[in-house]
Amino acid sequence: YRIKHLQKQVEESVHQTELDKINRKYEDVVEKYRDLLEQQHTYVQQTEQSSLLSVFSREFSQSLNNLELSVYPNLCLLAIDN
């Protein structure tokens, strides 16, 4: 009885080659998932950097406009005085 029971368990178990094949597929999927996560992380970083650059650009433009507004009248006065 024990031998028949053990033999049945062996017959119902997964063969090593099949197990290796499944493990390779699993590793491939995990590797692809990891690559996708890295790509997503890179995309998020680029988006954040782009947003920061946009904010800095707007602030710089506003500062430049403010500077022009404060300097331009003085330049006009200097031109009139000369």
Q: Per-domain residue ranges for the chain?
A: 13-81
- Distance between CA atoms of residues 52 and 46, nearest Å: 10
- Distance between CA atoms of residues 31 and 23, nearest Å: 12
pLDDT of residue 53: 95
Give, in degrees to the nearest 5, the angle at Cα 31 between 28 and 37: 145
pLDDT of residue 76: 62
pLDDT of residue 67: 81
* Six token digits for residue 10: 């062996």
Give pLDDT tens digits for 36-54. Answer: 999 999 999 999 999 999 9
pTM higher than 0.75: no
pLDDT of residue 60: 93
